Structure 1
Amino acid sequence: MKRELRVRIGQIVVATLFIVVVVLMVRYARSVDWPAVGKALAGYRPKTIIAALALVTLSYLIYCAYELSARAHTGHGVPTRRVMLMAFIGYAFSLNLGAWVGGGGLRLRMYTRSGVRPGVVAHIAAFAVAANWSGYLVLAGAILAARAVRLPPGWSGAAASGLQALGVAMLLFVVSYLCACARWPHRSWRVRGQDLRLPSLPMAALQLGLSTLNWITMAGVVFVLMPGQVDYLELLGVLLTSAILASVMHIPAGLGALEGAFLVMLGGQVAKPQLLATLLAYRAVYYLLPMLLAVPVYLAFEAKKRGAGQGQGK
């Protein structure tokens, strides 16, 4: 009964957050000068788009580095080129359609078709999740602990102190994780029928470094597309806030959560047309363009594997 109650409360919280985001977005959409948004989008210079695409490329290369590091951790023998290919496909699908698609089912299918056992694939997924969120906790924890992000009007001093305490807790959690990796490297725990191992301290430090760089790069994409409007550190804080909202609400591509966070936290500093144009451009270069590239690449991957399988069957 207690477990069912916790599940029901979690569902209510998620539904409430979703309703709040929808209401905010509807109100926002009604007040936007859409012709001005189109004008702002058309006003991007080629060098701005090129800079944004360069940062997007760097971010996806870091995702590939997650998977290559996981290969070193698990010891599977899939070639580097194929690992990077699967990483690009998996993260493009995951960011657009949700972690269960790209990070779960698609990763499992691609790796098992490459000769990797399902148990090892679970290790790879766990390693990637730990990598992604370790850097998030460091950056979000540091920003909250330092009170580096301006809170929305009307928030009390107690709320600021609470967020600061949360930031310190985030940093302590990462320190605890690193200490555990130093104290018990390669120790296994059985989780839902799978044996998961802690990485060594150097590998955990690599996770942390890659993830931190990736979140910084993602915020850099937004910063380039909204030059001179908002301080970079504040943009990073807003992006991190939107990421946790999207994760809690299980929204593919952070739809609504990204816009809601930017609306609440930056709506008073940036003109609405420019803010919306920035977010639309960010979605186009960071989500949609990689997905458009990943779909034919995945189809080619499947066709090649199918052809190899038919060839072996003859």
Structure 2
Amino acid sequence: MEPSSNNTRNNPSRQRNVWVPWLKRGVTILFFILVVVLLFSMIRNVDWNAVFETLRGYSLTLMLMGLGITAASFIVFSSYDLLGKFYTGHEIPVQKVLLVAFVCYAFNLNLGAWVGGIALRYRLYTKFGLSVATVTRVLSVSLTTNWLGYMLLAGVIFSLGLIDLPEHWQVGMLGLRFIGAGLLLVCLFYLAACRFSRRRTWHLRGNEITLPSLRLALLQMVLGAVNWSLMAALVYLLLPQDVFYPTILGILLVSSIAGVITHIPAGLGVLEAVFIALLQHQLATSEILAALIGYRALYFLFPLVLACLVYLFLERWGSRRKGSGYD
């Protein structure tokens, strides 16, 4: 045991590797505590009767429009895996790919990326005959598509200063513009690499990484941006109509990063804290909370119920056809 201890003390890189995970956990816990404190301080004086009155005021037409936006968003997100099908050339039929992607997205939103985005994808796709390496490549296309769309929208909104921030946040507007410009440069770099790079394939930890064509890269960026825009459109629909849509989109993008940092499933509490902090100078807190409750019901909970039923169907379908080839 002593030589091992001496090696750790004498190797600075190993010492850093020991402390890095603990540092990450500490930052996550601190951020989580700050979010809880911030949210509590914001909602402790909320008029919950006003929240429920706002919810009761939503018309059937409005809710149906919200369901339509939700359906469109889930279709767009599910098409990320169709790009993965094109990228890898696997033979799973389109309808199966869309169903698997739908289930994974719904579980991802509510239970976190490790459950929906990763574990379920591997389980369902391998049941339908894909190798682990192929599933990894499909997953990489989906993740890249999502975050390329994020960077494109955030880059435009932040660099142009389209978020209507509270007055005491204006000091940070210049920094936000620089972040936006940096995100747009990353998008341009990715497109340039897909178009001009002579080396197309790399190997990382046993996995093969191949740059897509420029056409596929552009499709990734467009589909990712459309999905984020639809998510924001649903929140916008449920809020009073005098709110600037790019502000809602920008706040959603900020809250999503905060949710990733805290690792809280569904960003529970994080979404509310960020929206209240950045919109309370324009809207009543009761109106913001009512819109976010409606958003969670339409975009998170309702699709999750459907996804549970579809998941059971896919499990049975995969078990019946395992080893018998594709449809």
Quickly name the TM-score band, shorter chain normalised. over 0.9
1:229 deviation in Å? 3.8
Whether the aligned pair in 1 keeps the contact of 2:112 and 2:264 (CA below 8 Å) is yes
Structure 1: distance between partners of 2:234 and 2:46: 23
Are positions 1:206 and 2:219 aligned together? Answer: yes
Are positions 1:114 and 2:143 aligned together? Answer: no
Letter in 2 for 1:227: P
Aligned Cα root-mean-square deviation (Å): 1.7
Matches within 5 A, 1:175-190: 175-184=188-197, 187-190=200-203
Closer, same or farther in 2 for the Cα pair 1:142/1:126, shift >3 Å?
same
User: Residue 70 of structure 1 is aligned with which of 67, 74, 84?
Assistant: 84
Structure 1: distance between partners of 2:223 and 2:311: 25
1:12 deviation in Å? 2.2
1:9 deviation in Å? 2.7
Secondary structure in 1 aligned to 2:163?
Answer: coil
1:85-108 superposed Cα distances (whole Å, 9 cap, x missing partner) = 101101011111111111111000
User: Residue 180 of structure 2 is aligned with which of 158, 163, 167?
Assistant: 167
Structure 1: distance between partners of 2:201 and 2:18: 29
Secondary structure in 1 aligned to 2:166?
Answer: coil
Structure 2: distance between partners of 1:180 and 1:249: 32
Structure 1: distance between partners of 2:214 and 2:321: 39
Q: Which 4+ residue blocks in structure 1 deviate beyond 4 angstroms? A: 309-312
Letter in 1 for 2:44: R
**Which consecutive unaligned segments of at least 5 residues does structure 1 have?**
none
Closer, same or farther in 2 for the Cα pair 1:175/1:154, shift >3 Å?
same
Matches within 5 A, 1:218-233: 218-233=231-246
| Count of equivalent residues | 311
Closer, same or farther in 2 for the Cα pair 1:69/1:151, shift >3 Å?
same
Secondary structure in 2 aligned to 1:154?
Answer: helix
Letter in 2 for 1:97: L
Letter in 2 for 1:130: T
Structure 2: distance between partners of 1:92 and 1:134: 20
Task: Tell me the TM-score normalised to structure 2 length.
Answer: 0.91
User: Residue 89 of structure 1 is aligned with which of 99, 103, 115?
Assistant: 103
Letter in 2 for 1:95: L
Structure 2: distance between partners of 1:258 and 1:72: 34
Corresponding residue for residue 139 of structure 2: 125
Letter in 2 for 1:82: K
Secondary structure in 1 aligned to 2:98?
Answer: helix
Structure 2: distance between partners of 1:310 and 1:199: 30
1:36-83 superposed Cα distances (whole Å, 9 cap, x missing partner) = 111110100111111111110000000121111110001000001101
After alignment, is 237-246 or 247-256 more displaced?
247-256
Closer, same or farther in 2 for the Cα pair 1:84/1:72, shift >3 Å?
same
Are positions 1:256 and 2:274 aligned together? Answer: no
Closer, same or farther in 2 for the Cα pair 1:186/1:280, shift >3 Å?
farther
Are positions 1:281 and 2:305 aligned together? Answer: no
1:95-136 superposed Cα distances (whole Å, 9 cap, x missing partner) = 111111111110001100111110010001110010000011
1:311 deviation in Å? 9.4
Whether the aligned pair in 2 keeps the contact of 1:107 and 1:121 (CA below 8 Å) is yes
Structure 1: distance between partners of 2:68 and 2:93: 25
1:8-33 superposed Cα distances (whole Å, 9 cap, x missing partner) = 33222222211111012222332111
Structure 2: distance between partners of 1:91 and 1:17: 25
1:191-238 superposed Cα distances (whole Å, 9 cap, x missing partner) = 333112211110000000101111111111011111314110110110
Task: Tell me the TM-score normalised to structure 1 length.
Answer: 0.94
After alignment, is 2-11 or 67-76 more displaced?
2-11
Closer, same or farther in 2 for the Cα pair 1:170/1:187, shift >3 Å?
same
Structure 2: distance between partners of 1:291 and 1:146: 36
